[in-house]
Structure 1
Amino acid sequence: MMKLKILMLGSSLEQNGGIATFEKLIIKYAPTEIEIQHITSHDEGSIAHRLIIFCQALGKFFWKLIFEQTDIIYLQISERANIFRKSIFALIAFLFRKPVLLHAHGAEFHLTYSRLPKWAKQLLSGIFRRCSGLIVLSKTWKDYYVINLGLNPQQVFVLPNPAELPVEIPQRSNADRVTLLFCGRVGQRKGTFDLIEAFANLPVEQKNCTKLIIAGDGDIEQGRKLVEKLNLTKHITFAGWVNSEQRDKLLAEVDIFILPSYNEGLPMAILEAMSWGLPVITTPVGGIPELVVPNENGLLVKPGDIQQLSAAILSLITNEELRLIMGRTARERVMPYDIKNYVNSLLSVYKSVLTSTNKHILYESKV
């Protein structure tokens, strides 16, 4: 049986962040019916380094298209310059009459698109409409792309991010000290500084029996300065960026996961936390409200509302029973997102894209 040949272009697999995590999961659990080849089109570093990586990716891309069988071009997109880099690959794929499947991860695509001049919006929406399919992380994002970029609803597939579910989760009862975890890029968009200020607002008694771990790269120095200013150095620890093994160790040891973001797609970090049976405190942005149900598997607070965030933290650190119930419900909620199920859904999308593309080519040949 011939395998489907998928050529995936995206972030370096050695890079930090949700897209690289997603790519590695897809490659690791790919069904036997498909073969995924990955080309790194972006890596962190200097402008010169990024340009070299992009040019190398273009060379590899042309080589694959000319000399090797490729069934689908699978582009991982986010926002800002990433959109235009991937648009170049899409345009080249069109010239080779290859079906292009986009996968939108960007939390702030809508902000990038809203700032574009009219001609750039028309160009970008034309490229998106020309693609054979677009995968989005939630129904909310599907509605956005259909309404704002004029996509056909049948062209857009909703696939929330997958999670690699641990076989067993720890018992978290009778904790002497409640540990909170933030995992993501430290900065304003993820609400890290709001979280530090919300922690500072906790009553002294609760603060003394609670610890906050902030894991991730980004504006760590700014975060440390805020922690020192608020006299929280004995309560808040910066772990830096953690790899998947270190992340899982943290998720097994903590009691509550917090991500008070201003913009999101559907964070891998929340899915990972819920898979470890953790209650989540987060915000109703992007696809999060389709996953986190208030007072069932977590709590939702308004982005930037520090008082509300502090109250949510207090409600969970003072009520162990509520934490445990929400944690169990969170684990049950993400069971359908198991990567083993996800890759089968992704395979169905690949087949749908190929079918629609073949029908289009047949129609063109008759015309």
Structure 2
Amino acid sequence: MNKAQKNPIRVLMLGAGLDVKGGITSVEKLILQHTPPELEIEHVATFAYGSAFRNVKVFLQAVRILIQRLLKSEIDLIHIHFSERGSTLRKMLLILIASRFNKPIILHAHGATYQEFFSGLPQFVQKIVVGIFKKCTKLITLSKTWQDYYARAFQLQAKQVETLYNPVSVPLQVPQRSDRERTTFIFLGRIGKRGGALDSQSIVSFPQQDKGAFDLIHAFAALPESERSLSKLILAGNGDVELAQQKVEELNLSDSIIIHSWLSPVERDALLAAADVFVLPSYHEGLPMSMLEAMAWGLPVIVTPVGGIPEVVIHEHNGLFVEPGNQPQLTCTMQHLVNSPSLKAALGKAAREDVQALDIQNYMPLLVDIYQSVLKPSAIRKLERSSR
């Protein structure tokens, strides 16, 4: 729990455990690390890595803490992070509990494949989800595109939905890259497809989520020898790491392609500082944290125009677009940047400048504004009186 001043707004934040690898956790950590004096945030995990038994235990603990805080009136609002599949099922129960106590409920949508997941639910299940999620006071989305979708899907009023782009921590300085002879491409994220026809966390089918790691490996392998000899590819993440390594060995590219498992923030930043171009040829996205982190480090990005990405990346201004699954186009785009050092520098410079607006120092006041907007005037007056 982060305590800062006598009577801050007390927030109970429910979401993925802080040891879980992924974008939701990255956002949670940034918020917790940069909590301003006017907030007091208690984070409670609703999901963690481990066995099904451990996850049931973690979730029941979250339910217990939520009920305890509500019964004792120890919180002013509830902030719930959610995505597709089992996350939606878990958060439905939490929303039902919280709504009984007349406290503001803020939902924070993160799911990259939520539209496909939701449309694949039986109609009667969709109605149940909508009926429960409509109880929220505010729903935060990662882009205007997602804002429009959730407003329609959950039948929300315009005032209930608001866009808040993901935050990023922008380093004060980035390395000079113009004198590098070799172009290092970097991919950060899940390697391979997530799940299949049925996920262990869910009772319903869902679409595969693919960030295009294997497309990238094949696209790099297809580079002409003249460009490939001047390039290197680094992939880091969780998922099918061993399978990716096997594919690299099959292609006889172990000297040019390096595979890492999930990295710590320090290790990630070291790789971003050493890299020249970020590549994320995803099929689905919310607003990828890895892309924002790369832009903050002054890297040009090669990405796909999916999810909220087109609201941050402008083609040929701060990055380049390729279509999902189009490996020849990806190869050509990588080849183009290998041969265009001035373009790499210009795109990277613009990327770093543009992402400054999403720095966590700019994000937190916006989040505070949202928190204050959902509190009833009487609750705000009570906080003001008690702080005198």
Deviation at 1:88, TM superposition (A): 0.6
Letter in 1 for 2:32: I
Deviations 1:38-78 (CA, angstroms, capped at 9, x unpaired):
10110012212211111121122222222241111100001
Alignment partner, residue 220 of structure 2: 199
Alignment partner, residue 7 of structure 2: 2
Alignment partner, residue 64 of structure 2: 59
- Residue 106 of structure 2 aligns to a residue whose secondary structure is strand
Letter in 2 for 1:138: S
Task: Write the distance in 1 (CA, Å) between the matches of 2:68 and 2:274.
Answer: 47
Deviation at 1:356, TM superposition (A): 8.1
Runs (4+) off by over 4 Å: 356-359
Alignment partner, residue 362 of structure 1: none
Alignment partner, residue 384 of structure 2: none
Task: Write the distance in 2 (CA, Å) between the matches of 1:115 and 1:65.
Answer: 34
Is this contact kept in 1: 2:169–2:360, CA < 8 A?
Answer: yes
In the alignment of these two chains, the number of paired residues is 359
Alignment partner, residue 235 of structure 1: 256
Task: Write the distance in 1 (CA, Å) between the matches of 2:187 and 2:374.
Answer: 37
* 2:163 counterpart of 1:158: yes
Task: Write the distance in 2 (CA, Å) between the matches of 1:94 and 1:160.
Answer: 26
Task: Write the distance in 1 (CA, Å) between the matches of 2:341 and 2:307.
Answer: 29
Task: Write the distance in 1 (CA, Å) between the matches of 2:278 and 2:48.
Answer: 28
Equivalences for residues 309-328 of structure 1 within 5 A: 309-328=330-349
Deviations 1:85-116 (CA, angstroms, capped at 9, x unpaired):
01111100011121110000110111110111
Task: Write the distance in 2 (CA, Å) between the matches of 1:330 and 1:158.
Answer: 21
Letter in 2 for 1:325: A
Deviations 1:142-196 (CA, angstroms, capped at 9, x unpaired):
1111122211121101000001000001100121111110000111411000000
Deviations 1:330-349 (CA, angstroms, capped at 9, x unpaired):
00110110101100000000
- Residue 93 of structure 1 aligns to a residue whose secondary structure is helix
Equivalences for residues 66-145 of structure 1 within 5 A: 66-145=71-150
Letter in 1 for 2:14: L
Letter in 2 for 1:136: T
Is this contact kept in 1: 2:189–2:236, CA < 8 A?
Answer: yes
Deviation at 1:123, TM superposition (A): 1.2
Alignment partner, residue 179 of structure 2: 174
Task: Write the distance in 2 (CA, Å) between the matches of 1:5 and 1:312.
Answer: 48
1:339 to 360, 368, 375: 360
TM-score (structure 2 length as normaliser)? 0.90
Percent pairwise identity: 45
Deviation at 1:233, TM superposition (A): 1.2
Deviation at 1:128, TM superposition (A): 1.9
Task: Write the distance in 2 (CA, Å) between the matches of 1:146 and 1:122.
Answer: 14
Letter in 2 for 1:79: E
Alignment partner, residue 248 of structure 1: 269
2:313 to 277, 286, 292: 292
Structure 1 portions without partners, runs of 5+: 360-367
Q: CA RMSD in A?
A: 1.4
Alignment partner, residue 383 of structure 2: none
Alignment partner, residue 37 of structure 1: 42
Is this contact kept in 1: 2:84–2:113, CA < 8 A?
Answer: yes
Alignment partner, residue 201 of structure 2: none
Between 1:49-58 and 1:254-263, the stretch displaced more is 49-58
Is this contact kept in 2: 1:260–1:301, CA < 8 A?
Answer: yes
Higher helix share: 1
Letter in 1 for 2:254: T
Task: Write the distance in 1 (CA, Å) between the matches of 2:377 and 2:355.
Answer: 31
Task: Write the distance in 2 (CA, Å) between the matches of 1:302 and 1:222.
Answer: 24
Letter in 1 for 2:95: A
Task: Write the distance in 2 (CA, Å) between the matches of 1:39 and 1:66.
Answer: 17
- Residue 249 of structure 2 aligns to a residue whose secondary structure is helix
Is this contact kept in 1: 2:143–2:311, CA < 8 A?
Answer: yes
- Residue 130 of structure 1 aligns to a residue whose secondary structure is coil
Task: Write the distance in 2 (CA, Å) between the matches of 1:149 and 1:65.
Answer: 26
Q: 1:60 to 1:103 in 2, by over 3 A?
A: same
Q: 1:112 to 1:131 in 2, by over 3 A?
A: same
Task: Write the distance in 2 (CA, Å) between the matches of 1:358 and 1:110.
Answer: 35
Alignment partner, residue 151 of structure 2: 146
